[in-house]
Amino acid sequence: MNFFWIWNAKMIKKYMIIVLAAFFTAGILYVERTQIPVFSTDERPVAIYKVDTEDKDLALTFNISWGEERAIPILDTLKENDISNAAFFISASWAERHPEVVERILEDGHEIGSHGFRHDHYTKWEDENIKKDILTAHEIIRKVSDTTPHFLRPPNGNFDDRVLKIAENLDYDVIHWSINSNDWLNPGVDKIVDNVVSEASPGDIVLFHASDSAKQTAEALPEIISQLSSDGFNFVSLSELMSGSETESQEIN
């Protein structure tokens, strides 16, 4: 009788281990599917790329690191299409040279985020140099715009765990994107429109550029806005999108 109980106890323990392992595996698969690092035991910082929401809201974001020809036409286009809540991630070295464009961005109601100072890959730098670049950009943007940025999109969208941790310690949220328009490649207006509209879903953060490399963005925007509006999407600010919703995040090495 004792032998039978011991055998059963061993079997129960074995099956419990199997069941627990199955639950853990299912949890990991769920995390990989949603890209939310629930099992991040060391609480590693993450980059926000999308918001989990049932509302058909999305945010338009623009990177600017150089040039003086494309930003104003893009701002004009947004204004003509009643969009006053985009986010512009500006390089501080560019902002120093074009304070009047920064002023126009704010006058039109858009948000300002930091795109760093030097437009180079943070992942190649030492920690102190990354911190110095973020802080230098912070002070310049604050001075030029009279606002304090809290969103950071690292130059080239390039970051790792070190960059994320440094940004977090400096009170920045790192903002990535879930839809890339690839407008800087100038693939044609129709292709830019399709890159965005065909992929749009609730909570998306859409990446555009307003540097001089983006020659077709201003022309593509009206059709993108029109088609997304017809599909029931609302254009909201990045702050509004993130407020009161669960952000989806990802760790990118």
Query: Residue 10: pLDDT above 50?
Result: no
pLDDT class of 22 with cuts at 50, 70, 90: very low
pLDDT class of 44 with cuts at 50, 70, 90: confident
pLDDT class of 96 with cuts at 50, 70, 90: very high
Cα Rg of the chain, angstroms: 22
- Domain covering 47-250: architecture: Alpha-Beta Barrel (3.20)
H or E, element range at 111: strand 111-114
Q: Which of 4-8, 15-19, 202-206, 246-250 has the lowest mean pLDDT?
A: 4-8
Q: pLDDT at position 249, please?
A: 53
Burial 218-250 (b: 16+ CB within 10 A, else e): bbbbebbbebbeeeebebbbbebbbeebebbbe
Q: What is this structure's pTM?
A: 0.81
H or E, element range at 52: strand 47-52
Burial 25-42 (b: 16+ CB within 10 A, else e): eeeeeeeeeeebbeeeee
Of the two residues 33 and 185, the one the predictor is more confident about is 185
Query: Residue 240: pLDDT above 80?
Result: yes
Q: pLDDT at position 244, please?
A: 58
For the chain, give every domain's residue range: 1-34, 47-250
Q: Are strands 246-250 and 47-52 parallel, antiparallel or unpaired?
A: antiparallel
